[in-house]
Amino acid sequence: MNSVPNIVKSWIESGRKMDSPPVLTKFHSQLVDWYIAIQPVARFDPRFLHGAAAFNNLKHASDLPVQEYQHIRSVEPNGLVLILWALSWSLSPAFSVSRSRGLSDATPDLIIEDFTEVLKMLSKQ
């Protein structure tokens, strides 16, 4: 799986069932890296490929042609739902204590804002 955060992998492997809230240790850095990994290559600044630096230097979603985003629909089975689920975990109160240093610029709010722009691009297809 395309660098999916460990907790998301566990959730998928359990048949998408969870008896208790996820433990979000290191989830933030994994979420940022996964989110970056699923973006079209054309959004990247080649000087920044990982973490907050890569996120902060992504081209705006609307700067790319709509067809660049088609692959995001099939990131995983139910790819868009999986991304939304992971982003919902990022809003959990437990998440605020698990953020990795150096990723403060790639906040859940900014990732959600960016993903909203990506969804707008997908809706144009």
Of 102, 121, 111, the C-alpha closest to 42 is 121
Q: How many domains does the chain have?
A: 1
Q: Per-residue pLDDT for the chain (125 aa), expressed as one digit of tens each? A: 457 777 778 777 887 776 665 666 677 788 888 888 889 999 988 898 878 888 889 999 999 999 998 888 777 667 788 888 888 877 776 555 444 444 456 788 888 899 999 999 988 86
Extract the tokens encoding 54.
């890569």
The H or E element spanning position 64 is none
From first CA to last CA, the distance across the chain in angstroms is 25
Q: Is 1 inside a domain boundary?
A: no
How far, in Å, CA of 108 to CA of 47, rounded?
A: 23
Q: Is 44 inside a domain boundary?
A: yes
User: Which structural domain range is residue 22 located in?
Assistant: 6-123
Tell me the pTM: 0.77
